[in-house]
């Protein structure tokens, strides 16, 4: 009897995380991001039945939620292979400050700063950025968040651009890092730590968690 070699079927995440989207990545104002159009197009090439939803507020019927104190929040969901994952993203300016219906000022160590009021352009842009982040949960362009082209916050001063933000297990980016680690165990602990550490300051607890993920 001839033994039949079984081939492992790749998961959606394994498939999409292996797609190289470097040629579609753009950089503007010290920010690196993947265009929603290319992210969606590349996803549909592999999974043509993929769908996405932009949520509306049940009461206002607007495609965002709004809190006078917190600002705007947009929500999308993506369905691939029968699995649906939701994602949220606040409307923020170039300094990662929440935008509201009215402009406001805040005090920083460098003095008073002004945040402009949000426009429909800002909201629409956030919705599509939320979609890209949503697709990253399925693997599409996830290495942009967890690797060399991780989106960076535009710094207020030149000195701040050299500061790496701390990464904690409660950070929303941790879920991307965790998936990246699990899908790239073959790189080994040291290389994975070095890769993530190029963008973040890693605490001992984060390093230990990465070690646990590799050993699973």
Question: pLDDT tens across 118-131, in order?
Answer: 999 999 999 999 99
Partner residues linked to 98 by β-bridges: 92
133 near 90, Cβ under 8 Å? Answer: no
Instruction: Give pLDDT, residue 168.
Output: 77
- Segment 106-116, tens digit of pLDDT: 888 778 889 99
Q: Give the pLDDT confidence score for residue 176 in this predicted structure.
A: 81
Among the listed ranges 15-19, 37-41, 79-83, 140-144, which one has the minimum average pLDDT value? Answer: 140-144
> For residue range 19-58, what is the model confidence (pLDDT) as tens digits?
988 888 887 655 668 899 999 999 999 999 999 999 999 9
User: Can you say whether the dihedral through the CA atoms of 23, 134, 30, 120 is positive or negative?
Assistant: positive
Q: 161 falls in which pLDDT band (50, 70, 90)?
A: very low
With contact defined as beta carbons under 8 Å apart, do 35 and 24 qualify? yes
**Residue 115: its pLDDT value, please?**
94
**pLDDT top residue among 149 and 168:** 168
Question: Half-sphere exposure of residue 45, counting CA atoms within 13 Å on the CB side?
Answer: 11
pTM (whole model) above 0.85: no
């Amino acid at each position: 009897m001839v033994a039949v070699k079984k081939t492992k079927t790749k998961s959606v995440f394994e498939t999409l995380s292996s797609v190289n989207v470097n040629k579609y990545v753009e950089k503007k104002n010290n920010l690196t991001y993947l265009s929603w159009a290319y992210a969606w197009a590349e996803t549909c090439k592999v999974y043509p039945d993929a769908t996405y939803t932009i949520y509306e507020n049940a009461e206002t019927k607007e495609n965002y939620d709004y809190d006078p104190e917190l600002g705007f929040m947009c929500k999308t969901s993506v369905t691939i292979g029968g699995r649906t994952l939701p994602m949220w993203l606040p409307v923020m300016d170039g300094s990662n400050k929440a935008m509201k219906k009215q402009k406001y000022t805040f005090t920083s160590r460098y003095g008073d700063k002004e945040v402009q009021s949000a426009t429909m352009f800002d909201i629409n842009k956030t919705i599509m950025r939320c979609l890209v982040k949503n697709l990253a949960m399925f693997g599409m362009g996830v290495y942009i968040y967890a690797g060399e082209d991780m989106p960076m916050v535009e710094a207020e001063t030149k000195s701040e651009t050299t500061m790496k933000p701390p990464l904690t297990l409660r950070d929303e980016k941790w879920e991307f890092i965790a998936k990246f680690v699990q899908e790239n165990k073959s790189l080994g602990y040291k290389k994975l730590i070095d890769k993530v550490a190029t963008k973040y300051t890693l605490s001992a607890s984060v390093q230990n968690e990465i070690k646990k993920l590799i050993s699973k």
